[in-house]
Amino acid sequence: MSSTPVKQPIRRYAVAGVAALGLVAVLWSVNHGVVGAQPAAVANPVAPVTPLQPAPVEVRGLPDFTVLVDAVGPAVVNIRTIERVRRGAAPTTPDEQMLEFFRRFGIPVPPGMTPRTPQPRQERGPEIERPRGVGSGFILSADGFIMTNAHVVDGADQVVVTLADKREFTARVVGSDRRTDVAVVKIEAEGLPAVRIGDVNRLRVGEWVMAIGSPFGLENTVTAGIVSAKQRDTGDYLPFIQTDVAINPGNSGGPLINMRGEVVGINSQIYSRSGGFMGISFAIPIDEAVRVADQLRATGRVTRGRIGVAIDAVNRELAESLGLPRAEGALIRGVENNSPAAQAGIEPGDVILSFDGKPVEKSSDLPRIVGNTAPGAKAQVRVWRRGAERTLTVTVGAFEDEQVARAGNAPQAPQATQAADTLGLTVRELTAAEKRELQVEGGVLIVNADGPAARAGLREDDVVVGVGNRQVRSMADFQAAVAALPKDRPINVLIRRGDWAQYALIRPEPPR
């Protein structure tokens, strides 16, 4: 039985009951001679019944996506890629596209889908073309620029674009950026239907959204859902829009569309343990994607800023050890030698609270903010250091491949060592030759690291240059710093490892 026919009669009977009670009260008053004395009581024997208040949120029913499909569908394209191989090369298995999907998202390969061992191309026989993969995209401008995912076109010898009206074009890859997984391709056509770009800042959690793409090669497939979360951190360069829109292999590169018919994201990833849709999908925010696409269209590549630091998250325990009022910012765990950060005076152990006027709420905010800053620009950096804020000025450099820090190879001289049992460190003085080689003014060399120190990532041949916010230039400094350490709190240690200065947090063991 539905709730509506039950609620309505109950409400009518309640009102009727109140009216009956009012009538009884009138009759009692007449019989007892009080009607003339209190006429108001007769006219209004009881307080009026307050009607039920309407619900604060109006539910309007399920949305109709047909108008959106008609408006945006013609601007969505199917993208298939082709590779050229020598005849006789290992054929592509039917599951190869699914395996690529598993590799991209780190999903365990199911039994029975063991990847084929790559075979070298055989030189005999003519070159042949074979399908490599399938994806989606959408038209940015009427003159044929199309946006998609970088992994859709990566490594392809030929890219074929099929429009909604079934016309096919061979596309040219204008540029591709693996870090954000955004690519732009171009077809030679005019007067094409283009999408409208939406404002991601207006997108709200719980809002209906729609996707159009080619899952498993099924062109012009429409799926819908809601926005599950914004600014979702997945470890990639960009924050993602999380939805429950059904996304599968082949949807990659297709648009995520709001109820105003605007593109707010590029469908890029899913979370899955099986390879199929499990209710969690991720889309690249369109404002970030457009910023990348503009650079790709202008120069064919993306230029990003860098300052040369290694960072880590700031949790409550670390914030307390540093005297930081709340857990926020990006902890500088390492600074590259001669980098923009080093030249600006940023030190390991600093916590960056804002960069170029933009707040750094969590550590993953910093790479995005710095990356979007033009190389050569000067930026004000607000840092937390030794219990106080200070502002530094850094000149942003151009992004380059990260250099791998190598451990110092200073020879161990036959000198006495000093053990700090609570930290798990055995150290010794540096020789003058080692200081010149390592380009440090002082410090102590780690001979052995175990227990708490090893768990914090310290190792042999690291040079300790600071303990507990105190500078260490010699063994005496080290001993004094260790003696002053609190016994029940984590200890910050500053080390030099090769070209990098790094920061570690040791959780000491109680003395035995």
What pLDDT, in 10s, does the model give residues 207-218?
999 999 988 888
165 is catalytic: no
Positions of E strands within 362-490: 378-385, 388-395, 397-398, 417-420, 425-429, 444-449, 463-467, 470-471
Of the candidate ranges 127-131, 184-188, 195-199, the one whose mean pLDDT is the lowest: 127-131
Residues 285, 184: Cα–Cα separation, whole Å = 16
Same domain, 132 and 225: yes
Sorting pLDDT into bands at 50, 70 and 90, what band is 2? very low
Instruction: Indicate the DSSP class of residue 73.
Output: G
Same domain, 297 and 179: yes
Residues 459, 401: Cα–Cα separation, whole Å = 25
Residue 285 and residue 265 in contact, taking contact as beta carbons nearer than 8 Å: yes
Most distant CA pair in the chain: distance in Å? 120
Is 250 assigned to a binding site?
yes
Of the candidate ranges 225-229, 291-295, 365-369, the one whose mean pLDDT is the lowest: 365-369
- Whether the pLDDT of residue 307 is over 80: the answer is yes
- Whether the pLDDT of residue 489 is over 90: the answer is no
- CA-based nearest residue to 195, from 269, 291, 260: 260
What dihedral angle (degrees, nearest 10) is formed by the CA atoms of 234, 236, 238, 239?
10
Catalytic residue among 214, 252, 272, 363: 252
Q: Which residue has the higher pLDDT, 223 or 409?
A: 223
The tokens for 18 are: 């109140």
Q: Is 82 within a domain?
A: yes
Of the candidate ranges 28-32, 172-176, 508-512, the one whose mean pLDDT is the lowest: 28-32
Residues 297, 184: Cα–Cα separation, whole Å = 7
Q: Is 59 within a domain?
A: no
- Per the structure, the complete domain to which residue 361 belongs is given by 305-398
Same domain, 464 and 500: yes
Residues 271, 105: Cα–Cα separation, whole Å = 8
Last residue of a domain, one of 266, 287, 302: 302
Same domain, 20 and 78: no
Same domain, 11 and 25: yes
Interior angle at CA 256, CA 253 and CA 258, nearest 5: 160
Question: Can you give the pLDDT at residue 129?
Answer: 67
Catalytic residue among 95, 136, 151, 365: 151
Last residue of a domain, one of 239, 269, 302: 302
- Whether the pLDDT of residue 62 is over 70: the answer is yes
Secondary structure (3-state) at 341: helix
Best mean pLDDT range from 11-20, 26-35, 57-66, 275-284: 275-284
Task: Give the mean model confidence (pLDDT) for residues 405-414.
Answer: 34
Task: Determine whether 61 is exposed, middle or buried from the number of CB atoms within 10 Å of its CB (0-12, 13-18, 19+).
Answer: exposed
**CB neighbourhood size of 421 (10 A):** 14
Question: Can you give the pLDDT at residue 421?
Answer: 56
Q: Map tokens 């030249």 to a residue.
A: 343
- Whether the pLDDT of residue 73 is over 90: the answer is yes
Same domain, 297 and 309: no
CATH number of the structural domain spanning residue 458 = 2.30.42.10
Catalytic residue among 95, 136, 176, 181: 181
Task: Give the mean model confidence (pLDDT) for residues 394-420.
Answer: 49
Q: Is 404 within a domain?
A: no
Instruction: Indicate the DSSP class of residue 17.
Output: H
Q: Is 205 within a domain?
A: yes
Residue 100 and residue 94 in contact, taking contact as beta carbons nearer than 8 Å: no
Main-chain dihedrals φ then ψ at residue 381, nearest 5 degrees: -120, 120
Of the candidate ranges 157-166, 304-313, 466-475, 500-509, the one whose mean pLDDT is the lowest: 500-509
**CB neighbourhood size of 179 (10 A):** 15
Residues 227, 47: Cα–Cα separation, whole Å = 46
- CA-based nearest residue to 453, from 495, 486, 512, 410: 495
Residues 339, 26: Cα–Cα separation, whole Å = 92
Number of domains in the chain: 4
Q: Is 488 within a domain?
A: yes
Same domain, 367 and 318: yes
- Whether the pLDDT of residue 89 is over 70: the answer is no
Q: Is 327 within a domain?
A: yes
Residues 78, 69: Cα–Cα separation, whole Å = 15
Buried b (16+ CB within 10 A) or exposed e, 341-362: bbebebbbbbbbbbbbeeebbb
- Whether the pLDDT of residue 355 is over 80: the answer is yes
Same domain, 142 and 218: yes
Q: Map tokens 């599968």 to a residue.
A: 248
Is 78 assigned to a binding site?
no
Q: Which residue has the higher pLDDT, 134 or 238?
A: 134
Q: Is 115 within a domain?
A: no
Mean pLDDT score of the chain, rounded to an integer? 77
Task: Give the mean model confidence (pLDDT) for residues 120-145.
Answer: 77
**DSSP-assigned states of every residue in 135-202:** EEEEE-STTSEEEE-HHHHTT-SEEEEE-TTS-EEEEEEEEEETTTTEEEEE-S-SS---PEE--GGG
